[in-house]
Amino acid sequence: MSNPDKQQEYNLIAARLLEHVAQRTTDMADQKMAVPSSSYSDPVRWKQEIETVFKRLPILVGLSGELPDPGSYKTKNMLDVPLLLTRLKDGSVRAMLNACAHRGMQVAEGEGKCDKFVCPYHAWLYGNDGALKRVYGEETYGEVDKAAMSLTQLPVYESGGLIFAVLTPGLEVDFKDFLGGMIEDIENLGFADWHYCGQRVIHGANWKVAYDGYLEGYHFAAAHPKTINQRTYSNIMDFRGYGPHLLIAFPQRNIEKLKEVPENERYKHENDGYDFVRTIFPNTSIFVAPEITQVAQLIPGPTVGENTTILHYIHRHKPETAEETQKLEEMMDWLQEVVQTEDYDLGLKVQGGMASGAFENVTFGRNERGNQYFHRWLDYYLNDDPQRQPPQL
CA 307 vs. chain centroid, Å, equals 13
- The CATH number given to 4-56+176-383 is 3.90.380.10
Res 136 pLDDT > 80: yes
Do residues 217 and 237 make contact, with C-beta atoms less than 8 angstroms apart?
Answer: yes
Q: What pLDDT is attached to residue 379?
A: 96
pTM of the model: 0.95
Distances (CA, A) of 261 to 4, 249, 257, 267: 18, 18, 7, 10
Q: What pLDDT is attached to residue 153?
A: 98
Mean pLDDT, residues 358-387: 94
Mean pLDDT, residues 149-177: 96
Q: Which residues are paired to 309 by β-bridges?
A: 202, 298
Do residues 344 and 14 make contact, with C-beta atoms less than 8 angstroms apart?
Answer: no
Res 1 pLDDT > 70: no
Res 275 pLDDT > 80: yes
Distances (CA, A) of 43 to 46, 349, 350: 5, 18, 17
3-state secondary structure 113-153: ECCEEECCCCCCEEECCCCEEECCCHHHHCCCCHHHHCCCE
Q: What pLDDT is attached to residue 106?
A: 98
> Which residues have a Cβ under 8 Å from the Cβ of 104 and sit 6 or more positions away?
none
Residue 334: how many other CB atoms lie within 10 Å: 13
Res 118 pLDDT > 90: yes
pLDDT digits (tens, 9 = 90+) for 183-193: 999 998 989 89
Q: What pLDDT is attached to residue 384?
A: 79
Percent of the chain with pLDDT over 90: 94
187 exposure class (CB count in 10 Å sphere: 0-12, 13-18, 19+): middle
pLDDT digits (tens, 9 = 90+) for 3-27: 888 899 999 999 999 999 999 999 9
Mean pLDDT, residues 145-160: 96
Q: What pLDDT is attached to residue 85?
A: 98
Domain spans of the chain, in order of start = 4-56+176-383, 59-172
Res 386 pLDDT > 80: no
**Residue type (1 letter), 55:** K
323 exposure class (CB count in 10 Å sphere: 0-12, 13-18, 19+): exposed
Q: Which band of pLDDT confidence, cut at 50, 70 and 90, is reported for residue 34?
A: very high
Mean pLDDT, residues 144-158: 96
Res 332 pLDDT > 80: yes
Q: What pLDDT is attached to residue 5?
A: 86
**Residue type (1 letter), 335:** L
Mean pLDDT, residues 207-233: 97
For the chain, the average pLDDT equals 96
**Residue type (1 letter), 361:** N
In the CATH hierarchy, which fold is given to the domain comprising 59-172?
Rieske Iron-sulfur Protein (2.102.10)
Res 244 pLDDT > 90: yes
* Start-end of H helices in the chain: 4-23, 43-49, 138-141, 175-187, 207-212, 220-223, 228-231, 322-339, 345-355, 369-383
Q: What pLDDT is attached to residue 3?
A: 84
Q: What pLDDT is attached to residue 180?
A: 87
Q: In a 3-state reduction of DSSP, which class is residue 326?
A: helix
Which residue, among 285, 281, 85, 280, has the nearest Cα to 202 in the 3D structure?
285
Mean pLDDT, residues 256-266: 96
Which residue, among 90, 150, 104, 147, has the nearest Cα to 126 in the 3D structure?
150
Q: What pLDDT is attached to residue 59?
A: 97
pLDDT digits (tens, 9 = 90+) for 312-327: 999 999 999 999 999 9
> Which residues have a Cβ under 8 Å from the Cβ of 345 and sit 6 or more positions away?
204
